[in-house]
Structure 1
Amino acid sequence: MQNLPVQSRIIKSVWFSREDGRLLVCFKSGEERRFEGVLEDVVLNMVAAPSPGQHYIDHIRTKFKRLAA
């Protein structure tokens, strides 16, 4: 997994694997959410968005399969 730089009020770090579409979003609250089958362009758009947290809510949170932590 590769750590992608992100500037967000709620997201601490983003880890993404291009090989299998696995995504790990680490929040500043300490919570971690894992997903699979996430498209690379969706992740890149999230980390580049003016509000990565809102992009996560709108385009990832309910759109991709969440894995148990």
Structure 2
Amino acid sequence: MADRDRDTKEADRAAPEGGVTARRRRRAQFLRELHEARELRDRVQPRRARAARMRQQMRMRTFRW
């Protein structure tokens, strides 16, 4: 984890401010952390996670294309 943070900081210094690659790297890191947080929440609260899955399935069933 620390190696990845160090790599991103070094790459941010090398890339121009507001560059597309820096934005994509930050977005990818954010999405990784979001996915990790969701997995942790699902493990800790299995009943709530199951209810959320059921609600999502219902939403998809009733969605009109």
Whether TM-score is above 0.5 comes out as no
- Identify the structure with the greater helix proportion: 2
Tell me which of the two structures has the higher relative contact order, counting C-alpha pairs closer than 8 angstroms and 6 or more residues apart: 1
- Identify the structure with the greater strand proportion: 1
- Per the normalisation by structure 2, the TM-score is 0.29
- Per the normalisation by structure 1, the TM-score is 0.28
